[in-house]
């Protein structure tokens, strides 16, 4: 039987939903949670994974990817 592992990856610094939303400049929606935290220590211990980018860099990269996809599919 194949072993399945689950990893919680993050920057090591808590990011509130509001901080994340500000990166994308979207308004808060009713029902959004205020904060969410993850502990990436298991991934570091078992995989040697460490954060490389800040949340702002991650959001910027994600946004650039979306923009690139949009440009790629224009007629």
pLDDT tens for the chain, residues 1 to 75: 889 998 888 888 888 878 877 777 777 789 988 888 888 899 999 999 998 998 889 889 988 988 887 776 554
What pLDDT is attached to residue 72? 65
Q: What pLDDT is attached to residue 74?
A: 55
CA atoms of 54 and 62, how far apart (whole Å): 12
pTM above 0.75, yes or no: no
Which residues have CB under 8 Å from 48's CB, separation 6+? none
How much is the pLDDT for 10? 82
Buried b (16+ CB within 10 A) or exposed e, 10-27: bbeeebeeeebeebeeee
If phi > 0 it is left, if psi is from -120 to 50 it is alpha, else beta; for residue 12 that is left
CATH code for residues 15-72:
3.90.25.10
């Amino acid at each position: 039987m194949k072993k399945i592992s689950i990893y919680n990856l993050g920057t090591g610094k808590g990011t509130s939903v509001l901080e994340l939303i500000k990166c994308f400049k979207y308004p808060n929606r009713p029902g959004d949670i205020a904060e969410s935290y993850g502990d990436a220590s298991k991934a570091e211990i078992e995989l040697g994974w460490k954060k490389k980018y800040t949340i702002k860099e991650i959001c910027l990269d994600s946004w650039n990817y979306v923009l690139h996809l949009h440009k790629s599919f224009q007629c």
